[in-house]
Amino acid sequence: MENKVTKQYRELSGVVVSTKMSKTAVVKVDTIKVHKIYKKRYVVSRKYKAHDENNIYKVGDKVIIRQVKPMSKDKKWAIIKKIK
Mean pLDDT by 10 residues, the chain (84 residues): 76 98 98 98 98 96 97 97 93
Q: Who contacts 19 (Cβ-Cβ below 8 Å, separation ≥6)?
A: 25, 26, 52, 55, 57, 58, 59
CA-to-CA distance for 12 and 27, rounded, in angstroms? Answer: 10
What pLDDT, on a 0 to 100 scale, did the predictor assign at position 28? 98
Q: Which domains does the chain have, with CATH numbers?
A: 11-83 (2.40.50.140)
Q: Sort strands 41-51 and 77-83 into parallel, antiparallel or unpaired.
A: parallel
What predicted TM-score, i.e. pTM, was given to this entire model? Answer: 0.86
